[in-house]
Structure 1
Amino acid sequence: MSLVKMARKTAQVVQQIGDTMRAAFRGKITLVVSSEPIQRVQLNGLADEVLQELEHLQEFGFASNPPEGSEAVVIPLGGDTTHGVVVATQHGSFRIKNLNPGETAIFSQDGAKIVIKRGKIIEADCDVFRVNCQHYEVNASSAADFKTPKLETSAILTAQGQFNGNGGMAVEGGSGARFKGNIDLKGDFESTGKVTNNGKNIGSDHKHRGDSNGTTSEPL
């Protein structure tokens, strides 16, 4: 093959490659369909071209539904914009700003967020933090602090160590409350019900056998 023919052939190949390739471009999302195996979006592309049913490819294990108005980067496969895929999205109005180098955040449109911060700190902000699981385990070698006006469990609460009620304590047992072990009480003890010791009444209405084979009156 002569050099002239080789040059023409090379030019044809380059032209064919160029015909099947087109540079990535930006668009603005107008609609998202998130109910399918691969999420699809509609967006306004170049020169307000409306592109529909574009696949939105996301990393395995991560999923998001970008709100209307989000910027998108589209790669046209085969040079055809109608067969493009969305590979990145962003919405500047909701993006977490002022992250330090090395920090990462995930967030929603309404402001819920989780920030992985420097210093091995993970910080979450939300209105409701819900965990659905069969077994929830926390290993905190130093402490676990709850700053809340109320901490409630729907069933059994067990403390393997000491249980402190520094601000007062109220115990209500539906079928009674039981204590095993010694109780060291510093202060007054008041009961509105019957008090017994080894089956014998020692409460406010208990009586003793008197000197004349009778019984004493109740305590004054």
Structure 2
Amino acid sequence: MIASLRRSLQNIALRGVVTLVNSATKMQSVQVSLREGELKDSLEHFEAYGFTSNPKAGAEAVTLFFNGDRSHGIAIVIGDRRYRLQGLASGEMAIHDDQNQKVHIKRDKILIETPLDIEMRGNNVRIHGNASLILECNGHGEKWLPTHKESWTIGSTGASYAINPPQIP
């Protein structure tokens, strides 16, 4: 009886490696390779509300099997140490992927980085800067300040223009 209880307890939570992902269903499912080569299909992957991902094969999963019954389990967390950002300061957080794209909420700013294109969509897109707004592209730039706008091109003298910004509600 104790051996049976011990076996059930050992089967409740297991680590595994993701081998396949089905993200086309309402609840994403994963195939996970567990210890000793055991393969479990169609484990439901529970994700936090508002966040979703499609983990790559080789990611690691923490799985739960209720009452130690291995016939139906769930994946509660999937992480991938191959792409994990390192060196974040205490209290910082980030979202990231395997292509070096990230949104990093740092202690002093929010940093968005990607080697790819960035696209924003919406009916009305507004960008507000309380102190300044700086736009730069290929050596050309503009810096909008409360009283004036500065323009520049690398290698030439910049120009400054007085502005009367619109009132922002």
Q: 1:26 to 1:164 in 2, by over 3 A?
A: closer
Indicate the residue corresponding to 1:218 in structure 2: none
Of stretches 124-133 and 17-26 in structure 1, the one that deviates more from structure 2 is 17-26
Letter in 1 for 2:138: P
Q: 1:106 aligns with which of 95, 108, 114?
A: 95
Matches within 5 A, 1:44-193: 44-119=33-108, 121-126=109-114, 127-149=116-138
The higher radius of gyration belongs to 1
Q: What is the CA–CA distance in structure 2 between the aligned matches of 1:122 and 1:165, rounded to whole Å? A: 25
- Scaled by the length of structure 1, the TM-score of the pair is 0.59
- Scaled by the length of structure 2, the TM-score of the pair is 0.75
Report the identity percentage.
26
Give the total of aligned pairs.
146
Q: 2:32 aligns with which of 43, 46, 51?
A: 43
Q: What is the CA–CA distance in structure 1 between the aligned matches of 2:151 and 2:104, rounded to whole Å? A: 34
Residue pair 1:42, 1:53 contacting (<8 A) in 2 also: yes
Larger relative strand fraction: 2
Indicate the residue corresponding to 2:160 in structure 1: none
Q: What is the CA–CA distance in structure 2 between the aligned matches of 1:123 and 1:166, rounded to whole Å? A: 24
Give 5+ residue unaligned stretches, structure 1. Answer: 1-11, 152-160, 169-220
Higher relative contact order (CA 8 A, sep 6+): 2
